[in-house]
Structures are given as C-alpha cells and as structure tokens.
A and B are shown apart, each in its own frame.
Chain A
Amino acid sequence: MSAVILFLAVLVVIAGWWLSQQRLTAKPWLEEGPAGDFPGGDAMTWPAAKLGLGVFLAVASALFVLFISAYSMRMSVADWRPLPVPRLLWVNTGVLVLSSVALQWSYLAARRHDAEGITIGLLAGGASAVIFLAGQLLAWQRLAAAGYLVASNPANSFFYVLTAVHGLHLTGGLVALGRTSAKMWRGAEIADMRLSVELCAIYWHFLLLVWLVLLGLLTGWTDDFVNICRQLLS
C-alpha cells in the first residue's frame, strides 16, 4: 500500500498549499463587512468544468494507484510468472502519443482561432485513439492465442485488468471527444470551443501518462526504479 500512501502524501501537499492560501487563520467573528475588504478566500479563477475535470482525474489517479498497489502486493507471491509483453504494445504506445499530440495541436489551433486546425486535430486524435483501442484488442487476442489466458496466472490477470480499465477510461474520453467534435460540426464559436478542446487535451495527456506508467509496470521497467526507492527508504 506504499504507493497509495505516497499518492495521498502528494495530494496532502497540494491540499495543504491550497488551504494555506485560504486564510484559515482568519477570525471570522471579527471580520464583518462586504467581500473585498478581506483578501483571499474567493472562488478560484478556473472555469468550473476545468476544476471538475481536475477532481475527476484525481479520482481516476486514486483508482489506478490502488490497482498498482494491489499489483505490487500480489507480485511478491511465489506463483507470479511475468508474461512476455507483446511487441505490438510499443506500436500502440506510439499511436497514443500521436493521439495526444494531435489534441494538443487542436488546442493550440483553438488558441490561434484556427477552425480548420481544431477540426483536423480532433479528428486525428479521435482516429488514433480508436486505432490504439483496436491495437490493444489485437494484443489481447495474440496473448490469448499464445495461451496466456486471463485466469492462468496472476500476472496475466493483472495485464488484462489494467489494460481493460485503461481502455474503458479511454472510451469514456472518446464520448467526450465525440461531443466536442459534434459541437464543432454544428459550427460553434471558436471562443466557445476553446475550453472543450483544452479539457479533451488535458484528459488525453493524463491517459498517456497513465499508460506510460502502466507500460513501465507491465514490462518490468519500473522494478529497478522501485528497488532503488526501496533501498533509499531502508
């Protein structure tokens, strides 16, 4: 559970920093008067949707970190047999990077008020995300064909579960992306599009980050890193 504790520690630092800006030492019973007389404590300047996405991504991170905790605890049992990670995953990773880049492109286009750029970015991002999902399904199929079934070893079970949860997360993102594209299609003002496109881009970068962490975990790359951390702690 050390991964979870570490994650919570990071959240506590962020929350503590934010609370420290909120004048929690104020004596409200002495501070009678209109807003503006007392600095601090106003609502954030972020739009509500962006903050909502931030909170949602924190919840999603908690979910993935808990899966990772379970993974590392289950891994230490003797029956763990790591499975060979299919080469295809590297291709998929490349496609997901492209997807993320495309949405960043779309966001930059929205800042430039470039309608064509937004559309191209959204479509390219969506298409490559769909290709990524198809690639993941193909990887599953190859593994299953090679006899690495979901229940035959805990390493396999975790591989399928982690990729499935990430895939579902991506599918949820595609719904949002679809709605944004539909809005664009109906000819919304570019100024209105900017926030939607930005939120999609943030979501996609988060997905990419989660995928890179999961890939490191599944290929065993992070083992060395974890060992170093362990030595530092002990």
Chain B
Amino acid sequence: MVDIPYEGIRSIPPAEVPDVELYHPRSWWTRYVFSQDAKVIAIQYSLTASAIGLVALVLSWLMRLQLGFPGTFSFIDANQYLQFITMHGMIMVIYLLTALFLGGFGNYLIPLMVGARDMVFPYVNMLSYWVYLLAVLVLASTFFVPGGPTGAGWTLYPPQAILSGTPGQDWGIILMMSSLILFIIGFTMGGLNYVVTVLQARTRGMTLMRLPLTVWGIFTATVMALLAFPALFVASVMLLLDRLLGTSFFMPSLVEMGTLSKYGGGSPLLFQHLFWFFGHPEVYIVALPAFGIVSDLISTHARKNIFGYRMMVWAIVAIGALSFVVWAHHMYVSGMFPQFGYFFATTTLIIAIPTAIKVYNWVLTLWRGDIHLTVPMLFALGFIITFVNGGLTGLFLGNVVVDVPLSDTMFVVAHFHMVMGVAPIMVVLGAIYHWYPKVTGRMLNDALGKFHFWVTFLGAYLIFFPMHYLGLLGVPRRYFELGDTTFIPSSAHSLNAFISVVALTVGFSQMVFLFNLAWSLFKGEASGGNPWRATTLEWQTPETPPGHGNWGKELPVVYRWAYDYSVPGAAEDFIPQNQPPRATQLIQGAAS
C-alpha cells in the first residue's frame, strides 16, 4: 500500500451545492411525469422500452407459431409474417436495447456512479425522453394504419422497401422512417447529456481511470451512437424523399407491377453503405454497455477486483474505434466490388482481439474468486458463455468465403440472436436483479429469480443452437413457408416445431419475471443501502432509493478505484470508493 499524506484530505473544500443550482420539482406533474431528474427519466425510458419490447416479444411468438406449424394458423398470412419480422427486429435492436442501455441504465447510473447530482442539461434530458416516447408511439401507430406496418425487413433495403407489393407500402414505411428520425433526434439530446456529464460532472477524485467499467461502456457506446445514428438519419431522410417526392437517391429504374416506374439511376448499394455504417456500430452500441455492466457484476459477486482494468478500458475504446471500419461485412453478397470484402474481413477479425481480451479478463476475474451464485451473477455467467458462443460463429460469418453460402440462412439468425439478442438481454436481466434494490429499496425474490434464469438460459440454447444446424442445412431466413424442397429433410420441420414450443415456453416464463418485479415492489425483502456490499458510489448514497440530488448536502469524494474487493489486510472484503485511506489504515492497524 502507498504512503498517503493525510493533510491533503482536509484541504479539500466541502462540496455543498447551493440550492439554486438544483432544479426542484414543484408539483406532482413535474416530479413524476415531466420530471428533469435523471432517475425518473431512467425509469420512464425503461418502462417505455420494456412495453414496446413486450410487443416485439409477442410478434416473435407469432413468427414461431407460423414457422413451427405452417398452415395451421389462418390468422397469419405471408404479408403479416413479413411485418412481424420487420417490427420485431426494429423494435428489439433500436427501441428496446439501445433505449434501455443508454436511456435507462445510462440515465440512472451515470450521475450516481460519477458522483454527480444530476445530468448536466436536465431539461434537454427530459425532452429526450418525450421525443423518444413520441417515436415509439409513431412506431406503434403503424399497426393500426391502413396497410399495416412495413414488411421490408428491419434493414429496410430499397428498392423493395418502398415499392408496391411490399406490405405497408402506403403508410407503414413513411411512419417507420419518421419514427426513426424522431428516435435519432431524441437520442442525440440524451447522448449529449451522457457524454458531457461523464466529462464534466465527475466528483472530486473521480479520475477517468477510477470510473467503474459500466460508465466506460455506456460512455463509449454513447459517443459511437452520436456518430453512427446520423448515417441512419441521412438514409431515412433520403428514402423518405424517394417515397414521398419521387426523387431517385436510392431507386434504380425498374418495372413496377408491369409499368415502368418514375424512378431511375439511383443506387440501392448507397443505402446499404449508409445503413450498415450505422448498423454495425449499433451492434457495439448495444454490446459495450453490456460489457461494462457485466464487468461490474462479476467483480462484485466474485468479491475480487476486475482483472486487467487498464486492458478492459483500452479494449472498450479500441472496439469502439474499430467498429466503424467493418460495416461492409454485412454486404459481402450485395454486389459491391468483391475485393472490398477482404479488407472488411480483415478488420472484422481484428476486432476479435480486444473482444477476446475482455473475455479472458472476465474469466481471470472469476479465477480463485469468492464466487457468490446470486441471480445477477448467474446472468453474468450466462452472458459470458453466450457471448463466446455467438462470437465464435461471428468468426465464420466474418470470412467472405464462409459467409457467402451461409448468407440469408437461419445460421445468420442464430448467430446474431446469440450475440446481440440473448447475450445483452442476459446482462439487462442481471443488471435489473443487481440494481433493483437501489431503485426500489427492496430485493427481488431469489427463488423466482433463479427459476427465471434457468428457464431463460437453457431455453435460449434450446432455441438457438438447433437453429445453427438448420442454417447449415440451407434453411433460408425470412421465408413464410418452406414448402417442399429436396434439400430440407422432414426432420428440419420437426426441429422447427420443437424450437417453437421452447420459444413459447421461454416467452411465457418471462411473465414470472414481470410478476417478480411487481410483487417485490410491495412485498420484497427490504434491501438496505448496499445489499451486495459493493464499492461503487451508487451504493453509498445517504438514502435508498436515492433522493433528489442524489447525495444529500455534500458530494462524495473519491479516494480509490472501483474494485477494492478482498483487499489483503482490510477489515471488510470491500472498500467503498469514497472511504478515505486513513479510515482503512486505522482499521487495518486494529486488525493486525
């Protein structure tokens, strides 16, 4: 341990914040509805994202019903099937995961973890939520307009996205684009807050290298999102103009329903470049917060400092930067100049290096740790395994020669569901079990939680592992029915039925989780301020749930990094970040 000059501590001025600097809600409306408190906004974001996510979950049940038992359900036709696919993908990727990780966890955790009273621009933060809500409502309204939602696939590729014959060509696609544009505007407002708060509002002593990895993950993901979402914005605006004003940004000349269309000369490939310039960073926008959160869960519940903290930070930054130069690996079969593919295959495989560093460090953190198999820890372990599995099939698909035959098969569906569906959701669930006590002051029920974990974890593998095999057989994705083909054996159909049964079971088991959330809110065991005996600042608030302004009269002062677990000689197996060195050493003196 290093020698510390104690006099330094007293010379730091008290961190009282004059009342005028804080925004104070004056009524019920401004406290709970039009609130500028990041914690309330976080809960609003989370509830809205979860609500629209449940819609997407139901859509996946309908898809599985059709895939498992084709021809049985007369209420699903081919057009609807395409609409379900599109809305399921779009909602899950953008409106659920992005909004939940950045708008939900970002808003709740950033100010608490860096020791700030609130976000730096609370009013803009509030607007961000309301614009997001509007985007969700516009999206949901497409279910009720004539023609229904768009069925163009979540990638919305032109020309088919805006041509007649694609479901939702009238209103669905227009509202979809409008909703995306709104989402991006709303996100940008929130994103400015997250970035500037991390940079400017850290409490005294909170250097960048003392930040918990959760904050590093959310921060880097936000920076990436701020730069990547404009590409989707540009693509949406131009596609909207193609649809509404008849411009030809993306639309080539073609014959539509037997007549020559008004379009000519546009480049569908241009759309794909713009879309994936957003789309690939988006994978890491979802993954990096998950990486950060899972690092903190593992360290806390294994009672051991994170292994290779510096490497973890560098890897997050490296992944963030590299993810902007890999986008065309989604376009190997698009007809772009073929040699580009090899450049992008190389950059794609390079990303495996920092990612593997992270996986090694998680495993080495567990090694000889004091592992507590709490529900958050179970989900964190589930994440590591799932992420490795999904990542390995990513190596297959990153190689041009392997990707070409596997493109547009169920293998791709299995891959991305493992790596950016199941894996981040594991982290979301683990994080909810971990931070629910801080948000509500009550623990979630442990038995229900363990049941929820095992059904979800095993179920996810029963669903997505066989799907890889279906893909290798050549079963195509996005097909309403497979029909009679020679290369798809009848066993594949029984496998599809099996997957559907498991998917419905896992889907319904999520209701147990929802019940647990509601029940524990009133009947859960009281948690106290720091039930997991964790070091980071959010567990050291004077009140639980944290009051307005988070910290009472004085801001905390940070003396150490976020991972002082099981420090040799210390009285307890964790030392909070705001505990001064003198106190620790006194305890040590008494102990020795």
On A, residues with C-beta under 8 Å from B are 1, 4-5, 8, 11-12, 19, 22-38, 40-44, 46, 48-49, 51-52, 55-56, 58-59, 62-63, 66-67, 70, 73-74, 77-80, 150-151, 154, 157, 161, 165
Instruction: Say yes or no for B209: interface residue by CB 8 A criterion.
Output: yes
Cβ 8 A contact of B557, one of A11, A35, A77, A157: A35
**Most chain B beta-carbon contacts within 10 A, residue among A23, A44, A56:** A56
Contact (Cβ within 8 A) A19 B317: yes
The residues of A that contact B309 with a CB separation of less than 8 Å are: 28-29
Q: Given the complex, which residues of B lie within 8 Å of A52, measured CB to CB?
A: 120-121, 192, 196
Asked whether, in the complex, the Cβ of B4 is within 8 Å of the Cβ of A33, the reply is yes
In the assembled complex, the Cα of A12 lies from the Cα of B202 at a distance in Å of: 23
- Bound together, the chains give a CA A221 to CA B327 distance in angstroms of 31
List of A residues within 8 angstroms of B191 by Cβ: 59
Listed by A's residue number, 21 A-B pairs whose Cβ atoms lie within 8 Å are A4-B277, A8-B324, A12-B321, A22-B209, A24-B314, A28-B309, A33-B2, A34-B559, A35-B204, A35-B557, A43-B199, A51-B196, A51-B200, A59-B226, A62-B227, A62-B230, A73-B267, A79-B248, A151-B248, A151-B262, A157-B245
Contact of B207 among A4, A12, A42, A62 (CB under 8 A): A42
Residues of B within 8 Å of A26, CB to CB, are 207, 209, 310
Is B208 a contact partner of A41 (Cβ separation < 8 A)? yes
Q: Is the interface of A mostly helix, strand, loop or mixed?
A: loop
The answer on a CB contact under 8 Å between B273 and A51 is no
> Does A34 contact B266, Cβ atoms closer than 8 Å?
no
Contact of A28 among B195, B202, B210, B247 (CB under 8 A): B210
B411 at the interface (CB under 8 A from A): no
Q: Which of B230, B310, B581 contacts A24 (CB 8 A)?
A: B310
Contact A34 B9 (CB under 8 A): yes
Which stretch from B231-239, B378-386, B465-473, B516-524 is at the chain A interface? B231-239
Cα A61 to Cα B493 in complex, Å, equals 51
B120 pairs with A74, CB closer than 8 A: no
Residues in B whose Cβ lies below 8 Å from that of A8:
227, 324
Q: Please state if B8 and A59 are interface contacts (CB–CB under 8 Å).
A: no
- Given A41-B208, A55-B192, A73-B267, A33-B581 contact (CB < 8 Å): yes
Contact flag A59-B205 (CB < 8 Å), given A66-B277, A77-B267: no
Output the nearest chain A residue to B7 by Cβ-Cβ distance.
A34
Does B90 lie at the interface of the complex (its beta carbon under 8 Å from any beta carbon of A)? Answer: no
Instruction: Tell me the bound Cα distance from A55 to B120 in angstroms.
Output: 13
- Residues of chain B in range 4-35 having any CB-CB distance to chain A below 8 Å: 4-5, 8-9, 12
**Which residues on B sit within 8 Å (CB–CB) of A41?**
207-210
Type the 1/0 row for B547-571, where 1 means its CB is closer than 8 Å to any CB of A: 0000000000111110110000000
Q: How far is the CA of A34 from the CA of B139 in the complex (A)?
A: 49
Other A-B pairs beyond A5-B325, A29-B563, A161-B237, 8, CB < 8 Å: A8-B227, A29-B309, A38-B207, A59-B188, A66-B234, A67-B234, A154-B265, A157-B247
Interface string of B135-152 (1 = CB under 8 A from A): 000000000000000000
Do the beta carbons of B234 and A48 come within 8 Å of each other?
no
Which residues of the partner chain B approach A48 to less than 8 Å between Cβ atoms?
120-121, 196, 200-201
Residue from A37, A56, A67, A157 within 8 A of B192 (CB atoms) = A56
Cα-based distance from A16 to B587 in the complex (angstroms): 41
The contact string, 1 if C-beta is below 8 Å from chain A, for chain B 231-256, is 10110011001000111110000000
Q: How far is the CA of A78 from the CA of B266 in the complex (A)?
A: 10
- CB distance A11 to B227 under 8 Å? yes
Question: Within 8 Å CB of A49, what residues of B?
Answer: 121
**Is B409 at the interface (CB under 8 A from chain A)?**
no
Residues in B whose Cβ lies below 8 Å from that of A151? 245-248, 262
Q: Which residue of B lies closest to A36 (CB)?
A: B8
User: For the complex, is B274 an interface residue (Cβ under 8 Å from A)?
Assistant: yes
A28-B561, A51-B199, A79-B265 known; A73 vs B245 contact (CB < 8 Å):
no
B270 pairs with A40, CB closer than 8 A: no
Task: Determine whether the beta carbon of B12 is less than 8 Å from that of A34.
Answer: yes
Q: Are A33 and B8 in contact (CB under 8 A)?
A: yes
By beta carbon, the residue of chain A nearest B321 is A12
Q: Contact between A27 and B310 (Cβ–Cβ < 8 Å)?
A: yes
Given A24-B314, A70-B234, A77-B265, CB of A31 within 8 Å of CB of B324: no
Residues of B within 8 A of A42 (CB): 207
A33-B559, A51-B196, A52-B120 known; A74-B267 Cβ under 8 A: yes
Identity of the chain B residue whose Cβ is nearest the Cβ of A154 in the assembled complex: B248
Closest beta carbon of chain A to B288's beta carbon, Å: 15
Of B207, B267, B273, B558, which one neighbours A1 at CB under 8 angstroms? B273
With a CB–CB cut-off of 8 A, which chain A residues contact B245? 150-151, 157
Q: Report if B264 contacts A (CB, 8 A).
A: yes
A184 to B2 CA separation, bound complex (whole angstroms): 53
- B463 contacts partner chain A, Cβ-Cβ < 8 Å: no
State whether the Cβ of B161 lies closer than 8 Å to any Cβ in chain A: no
Shortest Cβ distance from B208 into chain A, in angstroms? 5
| Minimum CB–CB distance for B199 against chain A, Å | 6
Contacts of A46 in B (CB 8 A): 200
Min CB–CB distance A176 → chain B (angstroms): 12
Contact B249 A70 (CB under 8 A): yes
Query: What is the distance, in angstroms, from A154's C-beta to the closest C-beta of chain B?
Result: 6
**Are A161 and B201 touching (Cβ within 8 A)?**
no
- Given contacts A26-B207, A33-B8, whether A70 and B247 have CB atoms under 8 Å apart is no
